[in-house]
Protein backbone atom coordinates (compact mmCIF):
# COMPACT_ATOMS: atom_id res chain seq x y z
CA UNK A 1 0.00 0.00 0.00
CA UNK A 2 1.44 3.37 -1.06
CA UNK A 3 0.28 6.72 0.21
CA UNK A 4 1.52 10.12 1.34
CA UNK A 5 1.87 11.17 4.96
CA UNK A 6 1.79 14.85 5.89
CA UNK A 7 4.56 15.44 8.43
CA UNK A 8 4.53 19.25 8.48
CA UNK A 9 2.74 22.13 6.83
CA UNK A 10 3.41 21.77 3.11
CA UNK A 11 5.55 18.62 3.53
CA UNK A 12 4.31 15.15 2.60
CA UNK A 13 6.36 11.97 2.46
CA UNK A 14 5.84 8.99 0.19
CA UNK A 15 5.28 5.89 2.32
CA UNK A 16 4.84 2.23 1.38
CA UNK A 17 3.60 -0.43 3.80
CA UNK A 18 3.70 -4.17 3.13
CA UNK A 19 2.79 -7.19 5.21
CA UNK A 20 0.02 -7.84 7.73
CA UNK A 21 -1.13 -4.64 9.38
CA UNK A 22 -1.65 -6.36 12.72
CA UNK A 23 1.96 -7.61 12.81
CA UNK A 24 4.82 -5.81 14.60
CA UNK A 25 6.16 -2.97 12.46
CA UNK A 26 9.58 -2.63 10.86
CA UNK A 27 10.51 0.90 9.77
CA UNK A 28 13.29 1.07 7.17
CA UNK A 29 15.20 4.39 7.14
CA UNK A 30 17.38 4.97 4.09
CA UNK A 31 20.53 7.07 3.77
CA UNK A 32 21.20 10.61 2.60
CA UNK A 33 19.63 11.67 -0.74
CA UNK A 34 18.38 8.10 -1.25
CA UNK A 35 14.80 7.05 -1.99
CA UNK A 36 13.20 4.36 0.12
CA UNK A 37 13.10 2.26 -3.05
CA UNK A 38 16.77 1.50 -2.50
CA UNK A 39 15.66 -0.97 0.17
CA UNK A 40 15.56 -4.07 -2.06
CA UNK A 41 12.13 -5.42 -2.93
CA UNK A 42 13.43 -8.91 -2.12
CA UNK A 43 14.41 -7.82 1.42
CA UNK A 44 11.06 -6.13 2.00
CA UNK A 45 9.24 -9.26 0.79
CA UNK A 46 11.20 -11.56 3.11
CA UNK A 47 10.55 -9.37 6.15
CA UNK A 48 6.90 -8.80 5.21
CA UNK A 49 6.11 -12.49 5.63
CA UNK A 50 6.03 -11.89 9.39
CA UNK A 51 6.13 -8.12 9.87
CA UNK A 52 4.48 -4.93 8.69
CA UNK A 53 7.36 -3.39 6.72
CA UNK A 54 7.42 0.34 6.02
CA UNK A 55 9.81 2.17 3.73
CA UNK A 56 9.59 5.81 2.74
CA UNK A 57 11.25 8.73 0.98
CA UNK A 58 12.91 11.36 3.16
CA UNK A 59 12.13 15.01 2.51
CA UNK A 60 13.85 16.16 -0.67
CA UNK A 61 14.17 12.64 -2.05
CA UNK A 62 12.06 10.48 -4.32
CA UNK A 63 8.38 11.32 -4.52
CA UNK A 64 8.31 13.24 -1.23
CA UNK A 65 8.18 17.05 -1.02
CA UNK A 66 11.30 18.88 -2.24
CA UNK A 67 11.25 22.31 -0.57
CA UNK A 68 14.43 22.84 1.47
CA UNK A 69 15.16 26.31 0.05
CA UNK A 70 11.83 27.67 1.27
CA UNK A 71 11.56 25.51 4.39
CA UNK A 72 15.03 24.52 5.66
CA UNK A 73 15.24 21.98 8.47
CA UNK A 74 17.87 20.42 10.75
CA UNK A 75 18.97 16.80 10.39
CA UNK A 76 16.99 15.89 13.51
CA UNK A 77 13.79 16.83 11.68
CA UNK A 78 14.29 13.77 9.46
CA UNK A 79 14.33 11.54 12.55
CA UNK A 80 11.18 13.24 13.79
CA UNK A 81 9.62 12.53 10.39
CA UNK A 82 10.10 8.83 11.09
CA UNK A 83 8.04 9.17 14.27
CA UNK A 84 5.41 11.19 12.40
CA UNK A 85 5.04 8.31 9.94
CA UNK A 86 4.53 5.84 12.77
CA UNK A 87 1.97 8.18 14.32
CA UNK A 88 0.09 8.53 11.04
CA UNK A 89 -0.05 4.74 10.67
CA UNK A 90 -1.19 4.25 14.25
CA UNK A 91 1.99 2.41 15.26
CA UNK A 92 3.13 2.86 18.85
CA UNK A 93 6.48 1.02 18.58
CA UNK A 94 8.55 -0.39 15.74
CA UNK A 95 11.76 -2.19 14.91
CA UNK A 96 13.83 0.58 13.29
CA UNK A 97 16.48 -0.30 10.68
CA UNK A 98 18.75 2.49 9.44
CA UNK A 99 21.37 2.50 6.69
CA UNK A 100 24.09 5.19 6.54
CA UNK A 101 22.37 8.48 7.48
CA UNK A 102 19.42 6.31 8.44
CA UNK A 103 21.71 4.57 10.94
CA UNK A 104 22.52 7.92 12.53
CA UNK A 105 18.83 8.81 12.68
CA UNK A 106 18.12 5.45 14.31
CA UNK A 107 20.73 6.20 16.98
CA UNK A 108 19.17 9.62 17.61
CA UNK A 109 15.83 7.90 18.13
CA UNK A 110 17.51 5.46 20.54
CA UNK A 111 18.62 8.27 22.84
CA UNK A 112 15.61 10.58 22.45
CA UNK A 113 12.57 8.31 21.98
CA UNK A 114 13.52 4.81 23.18
CA UNK A 115 9.93 3.99 24.11
CA UNK A 116 8.99 4.08 20.42
CA UNK A 117 11.51 1.39 19.45
CA UNK A 118 11.07 -2.37 19.78
CA UNK A 119 14.66 -2.68 18.58
CA UNK A 120 17.16 -0.85 16.39
CA UNK A 121 19.56 -1.92 13.66
CA UNK A 122 22.43 0.24 12.41
CA UNK A 123 24.09 -0.48 9.06
CA UNK A 124 27.02 1.43 7.57
CA UNK A 125 27.02 4.33 10.02
CA UNK A 126 29.42 5.69 12.64
CA UNK A 127 28.46 6.39 16.23
CA UNK A 128 26.80 9.74 16.86
CA UNK A 129 29.24 12.57 17.46
CA UNK A 130 30.21 12.84 21.11
CA UNK A 131 30.41 9.11 21.82
CA UNK A 132 33.03 8.52 24.55
CA UNK A 133 36.51 7.62 23.33
CA UNK A 134 37.64 4.03 23.69
CA UNK A 135 41.38 3.56 24.08
CA UNK A 136 40.99 -0.23 24.02
CA UNK A 137 39.69 -0.22 20.42
CA UNK A 138 41.54 0.41 17.15
CA UNK A 139 41.19 3.85 15.59
CA UNK A 140 38.12 4.22 13.40
CA UNK A 141 39.15 4.25 9.76
CA UNK A 142 38.38 7.36 7.66
CA UNK A 143 36.30 7.44 4.50
CA UNK A 144 38.20 6.46 1.37
CA UNK A 145 39.73 9.72 0.01
CA UNK A 146 39.03 8.70 -3.56
CA UNK A 147 35.37 8.32 -2.74
CA UNK A 148 35.29 11.76 -1.15
CA UNK A 149 36.80 13.27 -4.30
CA UNK A 150 34.20 11.46 -6.41
CA UNK A 151 31.41 12.73 -4.15
CA UNK A 152 32.62 16.31 -4.62
CA UNK A 153 30.92 16.10 -8.04
CA UNK A 154 27.66 14.63 -6.71
CA UNK A 155 25.60 17.74 -7.37
CA UNK A 156 27.08 18.68 -10.75
CA UNK A 157 24.34 19.24 -13.34
CA UNK A 158 23.97 16.34 -15.82
CA UNK A 159 21.47 15.16 -18.37
CA UNK A 160 19.40 12.07 -17.57
CA UNK A 161 21.70 9.46 -19.08
CA UNK A 162 24.84 10.99 -17.59
CA UNK A 163 23.19 11.19 -14.18
CA UNK A 164 22.22 7.53 -14.29
CA UNK A 165 25.78 6.53 -15.21
CA UNK A 166 27.27 8.69 -12.44
CA UNK A 167 24.99 7.04 -9.90
CA UNK A 168 25.82 3.56 -11.19
CA UNK A 169 29.52 4.34 -10.80
CA UNK A 170 28.81 5.56 -7.27
CA UNK A 171 27.15 2.23 -6.45
CA UNK A 172 30.07 0.36 -7.96
CA UNK A 173 32.44 2.15 -5.60
CA UNK A 174 30.14 1.59 -2.61
CA UNK A 175 29.63 -2.07 -3.44
CA UNK A 176 33.21 -3.03 -2.61
CA UNK A 177 35.42 -5.46 -4.46
CA UNK A 178 34.23 -8.85 -3.21
CA UNK A 179 30.61 -9.25 -4.34
CA UNK A 180 30.42 -8.96 -8.15
CA UNK A 181 28.84 -5.67 -9.16
CA UNK A 182 25.76 -5.93 -11.39
CA UNK A 183 25.79 -2.60 -13.22
CA UNK A 184 22.65 -3.43 -15.19
CA UNK A 185 20.66 -4.14 -12.03
CA UNK A 186 21.68 -0.84 -10.42
CA UNK A 187 21.10 1.01 -13.70
CA UNK A 188 17.55 -0.34 -13.84
CA UNK A 189 17.03 0.56 -10.17
CA UNK A 190 18.22 4.13 -10.74
CA UNK A 191 15.89 4.57 -13.69
CA UNK A 192 13.03 3.25 -11.57
CA UNK A 193 13.90 5.71 -8.77
CA UNK A 194 14.11 8.61 -11.23
CA UNK A 195 10.70 7.71 -12.71
CA UNK A 196 9.32 7.45 -9.16
CA UNK A 197 10.67 10.92 -8.28
CA UNK A 198 9.77 12.52 -11.59
CA UNK A 199 13.21 14.18 -11.75
CA UNK A 200 16.83 13.11 -12.11
CA UNK A 201 18.75 15.73 -10.13
CA UNK A 202 20.10 15.10 -6.63
CA UNK A 203 18.97 17.49 -3.91
CA UNK A 204 21.61 19.25 -1.81
CA UNK A 205 19.18 19.50 1.12
CA UNK A 206 20.63 16.75 3.32
CA UNK A 207 24.14 18.10 2.87
CA UNK A 208 22.93 21.52 4.04
CA UNK A 209 20.70 20.40 6.93
CA UNK A 210 22.13 21.54 10.28
CA UNK A 211 23.67 18.43 11.92
CA UNK A 212 24.42 19.95 15.33
CA UNK A 213 21.39 18.44 17.05
CA UNK A 214 22.63 14.95 16.17
CA UNK A 215 25.62 15.20 18.54
CA UNK A 216 24.08 12.97 21.22
CA UNK A 217 26.75 10.26 21.24
CA UNK A 218 27.52 10.68 24.96
CA UNK A 219 24.06 9.24 25.67
CA UNK A 220 24.59 6.02 23.74
CA UNK A 221 26.08 4.33 26.81
CA UNK A 222 22.68 4.59 28.53
CA UNK A 223 20.62 2.99 25.74
CA UNK A 224 18.57 -0.02 26.86
CA UNK A 225 16.92 -0.89 23.53
CA UNK A 226 18.33 -4.07 21.91
CA UNK A 227 20.42 -2.95 18.96
CA UNK A 228 21.98 -4.91 16.11
CA UNK A 229 25.08 -3.45 14.47
CA UNK A 230 25.76 -4.79 10.99
CA UNK A 231 29.46 -4.83 10.09
CA UNK A 232 30.17 -4.54 6.36
CA UNK A 233 33.83 -5.49 5.74
CA UNK A 234 33.96 -3.91 2.27
CA UNK A 235 32.30 -0.60 3.19
CA UNK A 236 34.51 2.27 1.93
CA UNK A 237 32.57 4.85 3.96
CA UNK A 238 32.55 3.41 7.49
CA UNK A 239 34.57 0.18 7.72
CA UNK A 240 34.32 -2.51 10.38
CA UNK A 241 36.13 -0.44 13.00
CA UNK A 242 33.09 1.85 13.21
CA UNK A 243 30.70 -1.06 13.67
CA UNK A 244 32.89 -2.53 16.40
CA UNK A 245 33.13 0.82 18.20
CA UNK A 246 29.36 1.30 18.12
CA UNK A 247 28.67 -2.26 19.26
CA UNK A 248 31.07 -1.83 22.18
CA UNK A 249 29.51 1.53 23.10
CA UNK A 250 25.87 0.40 23.21
CA UNK A 251 25.14 -1.68 26.36
CA UNK A 252 22.64 -4.02 24.66
CA UNK A 253 24.25 -4.40 21.27
CA UNK A 254 25.02 -7.45 19.19
CA UNK A 255 26.89 -7.34 15.95
CA UNK A 256 26.92 -9.42 12.81
CA UNK A 257 29.44 -9.23 9.99
CA UNK A 258 28.06 -9.98 6.51
CA UNK A 259 30.78 -11.38 4.30
CA UNK A 260 31.62 -9.27 1.25
CA UNK A 261 29.12 -6.54 2.08
CA UNK A 262 29.92 -2.92 1.27
CA UNK A 263 27.78 0.20 1.49
CA UNK A 264 25.29 -1.05 -1.10
CA UNK A 265 22.54 -3.66 -0.98
CA UNK A 266 23.08 -5.97 -3.97
CA UNK A 267 20.98 -9.09 -4.26
CA UNK A 268 23.71 -11.28 -2.78
CA UNK A 269 23.50 -9.63 0.66
CA UNK A 270 19.71 -9.85 0.93
CA UNK A 271 19.44 -13.43 2.31
CA UNK A 272 22.07 -13.03 5.08
CA UNK A 273 20.82 -9.53 5.92
CA UNK A 274 17.21 -10.70 6.15
CA UNK A 275 18.26 -13.65 8.32
CA UNK A 276 20.21 -11.37 10.69
CA UNK A 277 17.31 -8.93 10.97
CA UNK A 278 14.68 -11.60 11.59
CA UNK A 279 16.85 -13.25 14.24
CA UNK A 280 17.39 -9.88 15.92
CA UNK A 281 13.67 -9.07 15.92
CA UNK A 282 12.89 -12.48 17.43
CA UNK A 283 15.56 -12.11 20.12
CA UNK A 284 14.32 -8.63 21.02
CA UNK A 285 10.78 -9.99 21.37
CA UNK A 286 11.98 -12.91 23.51
CA UNK A 287 13.90 -10.59 25.83
CA UNK A 288 10.90 -8.29 26.10
CA UNK A 289 8.56 -11.20 26.90
CA UNK A 290 10.97 -12.55 29.50
CA UNK A 291 11.15 -9.15 31.16
CA UNK A 292 7.37 -9.00 31.52
CA UNK A 293 7.09 -12.33 33.36
CA UNK A 294 6.70 -11.80 37.12
CA UNK A 295 9.97 -12.52 38.90
CA UNK A 296 11.85 -13.30 35.69
CA UNK A 297 15.32 -11.75 35.21
CA UNK A 298 15.89 -9.69 32.09
CA UNK A 299 17.69 -11.71 29.41
CA UNK A 300 20.35 -9.48 27.93
CA UNK A 301 21.98 -10.35 24.61
CA UNK A 302 25.76 -10.61 24.66
CA UNK A 303 27.85 -7.76 23.26
Looking at residue 299, what is its pLDDT? 41
> What are the per-10-residue average pLDDT scores of the chain (303 residues)?
93 98 98 97 98 98 96 97 98 98 98 98 96 82 90 96 98 97 98 98 96 97 97 94 95 96 98 98 92 54 34
Tens-digit pLDDT profile for residues 49-77: 999 999 999 999 999 999 999 999 999 99
Distances (CA, A) of 128 to 125, 193, 231: 9, 29, 16
124 Rama class: left (phi>0) / alpha (psi -120 to 50) / beta: left
Looking at residue 294, what is its pLDDT? 60
Looking at residue 217, what is its pLDDT? 96
Looking at residue 293, what is its pLDDT? 67
CA–CA separation, 271 vs 36, rounded Å?
19
Phi, psi (deg, nearest 5) at residue 99: -110, 130
Which residues fall within 8 angstroms of residue 79, CB to CB, at 6 or more apart? 105, 108, 109, 112
Looking at residue 301, what is its pLDDT? 37
Q: Which residues are catalytic?
A: 100, 235, 263
pTM for the model stands at 0.94
Tens-digit pLDDT profile for residues 291-302: 766 654 444 333
Looking at residue 257, what is its pLDDT? 97
CA–CA separation, 125 vs 123, rounded Å?
6
Looking at residue 259, what is its pLDDT? 96
Contact 201, 181 (CB under 8 A): no
Amino acid sequence: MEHFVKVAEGVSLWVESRGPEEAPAVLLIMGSTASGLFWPDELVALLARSYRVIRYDHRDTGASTWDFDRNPYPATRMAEDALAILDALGIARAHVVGLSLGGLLAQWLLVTHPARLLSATVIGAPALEGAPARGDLPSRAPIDPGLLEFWSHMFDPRDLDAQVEWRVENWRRLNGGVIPFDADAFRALERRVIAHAGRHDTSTAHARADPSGMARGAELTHVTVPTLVIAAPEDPTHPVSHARFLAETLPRATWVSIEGMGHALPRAVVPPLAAALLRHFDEAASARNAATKPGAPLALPEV
